[in-house]
Structure 1
């Protein structure tokens, strides 16, 4: 009798550990996707701000900075899309209002401009 209750307890602990590991990996995946998309958003926002500011004599440096930011934003988006395409987070939506009190730039992967793929 003691042996069967010990086995039941062991099975229950294994189920709890498995669920905890799945929740942890899903949480880490969501954190990684949040980080990648937030940095992408920051880079694109910086590019827009640089384009809106016109200072004499700084066009060369501005274009260099914009090309670096654009390249970095593109790489972040490529990594983001590859991770999101693993189907590990099918219901993941990018809601920055919840965590950052900012307006969401995109509501799903389909809304992201094709220019950055």
Structure 2
């Protein structure tokens, strides 16, 4: 028997892969997300909505696969790139990123003009 994952959508976030930015703090100690991170997360959501316009967030377990392509050796931490994508898709692709049961992140250097992130996700359909 093997696990069965039903592919749902694959889309590309073009350009230099962006890592999740560290929270910033106001003078009064309140944490906030940097604008560049909010903009990058919005881009992910917008591209997801174009790829899967009728999709409702699933309650199923999720497999998330990311192919992160860097141009000319400009590499970011893969875990921070994955965190930005998974946080952005909360409430859009799935209800909560705790549903991600399988995560695969592949990094590729020197992608040139093909820099970006190929995002694929599937839902778990049990054993066959």
Q: Which has the higher contact order (CA 8 A, sep 6+)?
A: 2
TM-score w.r.t. the length of structure 1 is: 0.29
Higher helix share: 1
TM-score w.r.t. the length of structure 2 is: 0.27
Higher strand share: 2
